[in-house]
Structure 1
Amino acid sequence: MVRKYKRNIGVRRYRDYTDENLEEALQKVTVNEYSLRKAASEYGIPFGTLYNKYKGLHVRKVGHPTIFSAQEEQNLVKCAAVCGDWGYPLSKEDMCFLQKIILIIKAEPSLI
């Protein structure tokens, strides 16, 4: 059985706050109840992190950007499930060909 690791808050200095605390601190800053510095010290969130979230900086996802959007990936999964329901499960090569066709259509929409 696979374990789902969950780090305890306070063990390391990196990200010692929850998403709920971050959202609550941002909400109090936006209604001018707290300053950025006071909210950072009250909630234990680094000032730079709170400032970047407040100003909307560094909002992209961490890591390499994906080729397909989340909706396109969901459509690929649905397509594979439908083919499996029809009695023709897709192999790895079939999925690669399907992805290649989608990429070609995205690059040259006039080919449709």
Structure 2
Amino acid sequence: MPRVYKPDPHGKRFKKYSKELIEQALREYNEGSNSLSNVAEKFQINKSVLYRHSIINVKTQGDQTVISKETELQFIKYINVCAEWGYPMELYDLSVLVKIIWID
């Protein structure tokens, strides 16, 4: 059973911005009509967060994945098909399939 992480009660809480809000602010900033400070103030996003998203592709939190998101969705689809056919896949079966695809 995986561990349930509990945040440190004395630690700093960072604000989570929605992906849509950041994309909307970046579109307006990339149009070139407003400065980064003006856009950050308008959308109430921290200027450093908006700058970081504008210059690099920000990775998601957590460990790096071995397979892409599209491949993962295909795996889920085929695991459900196998379950409907009465052939449930175990964790070992799935790990072998991922290793075979990853090597190719």
TM range (shorter): 0.5 to 0.7
Which residue of 2 is the match for residue 83 of structure 1?
A: 82
Change in Cα spacing, 1:15 to 1:86, as seen in structure 2 (3 Å) is same
For 1:47, the aligned partner's letter is: K
Match status 1:40 vs 2:37: no
Question: By how many angstroms is 1:49 displaced?
Answer: 0.9
1:33-62 Cα offsets, whole Å, 9 max, x none, are 21001111222111111111222x252222
2:26–2:50 CA contact under 8 A, matched in 1: yes
Q: Secondary structure at the match of 1:65?
A: coil
Counterparts of 2:60 and 2:37 in 1: how far apart (Å)? 25
For 2:82, the aligned partner's letter is: C
1:3-34 Cα offsets, whole Å, 9 max, x none, are xxxxxxxxx97326443332232222211221
Q: Secondary structure at the match of 2:58?
A: coil
Which residue of 1 is the match for residue 29 of structure 2?
A: 29
Name which structure has the greater RCO, CA cutoff 8 Å, separation 6+.
2
Counterparts of 1:71 and 1:61 in 2: how far apart (Å)? 16
Q: Which has the larger radius of gyration?
A: 1
Which residue of 1 is the match for residue 93 of structure 2?
A: 97
**TM-score, normalization by structure 1:** 0.63
Which residue of 2 is the match for residue 54 of structure 1?
A: 54
For 2:98, the aligned partner's letter is: I
**TM-score, normalization by structure 2:** 0.67
Q: Secondary structure at the match of 2:63?
A: coil
Question: By how many angstroms is 1:106 displaced?
Answer: 2.7
Unmatched 5+ stretches in structure 2: 1-11
